[in-house]
Amino acid sequence: MNWPLMSGMGLVVLCVLGVIVVGIVWFFVTYNGMVRWRNEVRSGWAQIDVQLKRRYDLIPNLVETVKGYAKHEKEIFMRIAECRGQAMAAQGINAIADANAGLSAAMRGLIAIAESYPQLKADANFKGLQEELASTENKISFARQYYNDTVARYNTMIQSVPANIVAGMGGFASEAFFNIPEGEKAAPKVQF
């Protein structure tokens, strides 16, 4: 076969075209990877959000059960209602983390009050709510871990060279971690 384009100039043109094709393929693969990890981050956050909402729904039932035994503890009930409202209204990862830290502290106060009422500790409804709350706290912890791991992968991808060029062109921004505030490193105790 006679390949007239395979002269020196033809070979250069094919090499340049090959590099362009490889660059285009790399760009799309990198871009799609970033889209995938951004969606994983969003999915991870959605899982945290589901568990936080479950927690918010359990708290009023637990408070009502305690109220039946400890009617005169109005201050803690008001504090829990206030913290729950702040947590539900919080916007942004850091604000949500801070608001939930306050709610956890208030819940610890409620549990401490429950310690003073042996009849309450024996109440089947109270025990069931405690177990559900403990389970939800564990699910929040696992969801937070998954979310933070996913954020780390995503942020590493968009900040690495040369993928950061694609990230800049595609409008990909770093995501925030869901950190536990300093005063809230221990999980709330909800079991007796």
User: Alpha-carbon distance 34 to 160, whole Å?
Assistant: 12
Q: Which CATH superfamily is domain 48-184 in?
A: LemA-like domain (1.20.1440.20)
Tell me the one-letter amino acid at 16.
Answer: V
Structure tokens at 124: 């089947």
User: Alpha-carbon distance 62 to 75, whole Å?
Assistant: 15
pLDDT for 186 equals 53
pLDDT for 2 equals 54
User: Alpha-carbon distance 174 to 153, whole Å?
Assistant: 11
Taking residue 182's Cβ as centre, other Cβ atoms within 10 Å add up to: 7
User: Alpha-carbon distance 93 to 46, whole Å?
Assistant: 12
pLDDT for 192 equals 42
pTM: 0.80
User: Alpha-carbon distance 133 to 55, whole Å?
Assistant: 7
In the block, tokens 């490193």 appear at 185
Contact between 169 and 35 (Cβ < 8 Å): no
- Using omega within 30 degrees of 0 as the cis cutoff, is the peptide bond preceding 4 cis? no
Taking residue 63's Cβ as centre, other Cβ atoms within 10 Å add up to: 19
**C-alpha dihedral, 103 to 109 to 111 to 117, nearest 10°:** -150
CA end-to-end span of the chain: 86
Number of Cα atoms under 13 Å in the Cβ half of residue 126: 23
Contact between 73 and 63 (Cβ < 8 Å): no
pLDDT in tens, the chain (192 residues): 455 546 778 888 889 999 999 999 999 999 999 999 999 999 999 999 999 999 999 999 988 888 888 877 888 889 999 999 999 999 999 899 999 999 999 998 888 888 888 888 788 888 888 899 999 999 999 999 999 999 999 999 999 999 999 999 999 999 999 987 665 555 555 544
Closest to 137 in 3D by CA, of 48, 46, 66: 48
